[in-house]
Amino acid sequence: MFEYKILTPKDPRFAGKFDAQKLEEALNIYAQQGFRVVNCANADFGGMGISRNEFVAILERQIVGGAQPMPMQPMMPTPRR
């Protein structure tokens, strides 16, 4: 089983200053905690008439020892009869 973390410029580790050096520092800190980068992208977020493009990194780490898989939840509600 895996655990995931989403890293964006809003992560508190950047303290309002997102740059390559701070990103590298954050990734190394998360790597020390067992996370690895599985994907990076620029994602478009919108809302309230404002659209913004934001960097997103997806990190994962394997959960070791005793973790039980979560039961699958349906994506759509079951229709009522």
Instruction: Encode pLDDT of 8-48 as tens digits.
Output: 888 888 887 888 999 999 999 999 999 999 999 988 777 77
User: What order of strands is seen across the sheet that includes strand 2-7?
Assistant: 2-7, 50-62, 36-47
Residue 74 within a domain? no
Q: Residue 21 sits in which domain range?
A: 2-62
Residue 33 within a domain? yes
Residue 58 within a domain? yes
Task: Identify residue 4 by its one-letter amino acid code.
Answer: Y
Residue 21 within a domain? yes
The domain tally of the chain equals 1
Residue 31 within a domain? yes
Count of beta carbons in the 10 Å neighbourhood of residue 30: 19
Could you read off the pLDDT of 61-71 as tens digits, one per residue? 999 875 555 55
Distance, in Å, from the CA atom of 38 to the CA atom of 14, rounded to the nearest integer, reads 20
For residue 19, CA distances in Å to 26, 51, 55, 67 come to 11, 21, 11, 35
Residue 27 within a domain? yes
Tokens 């809003």 belong to which residue? 10
Query: What's the pTM?
Result: 0.69
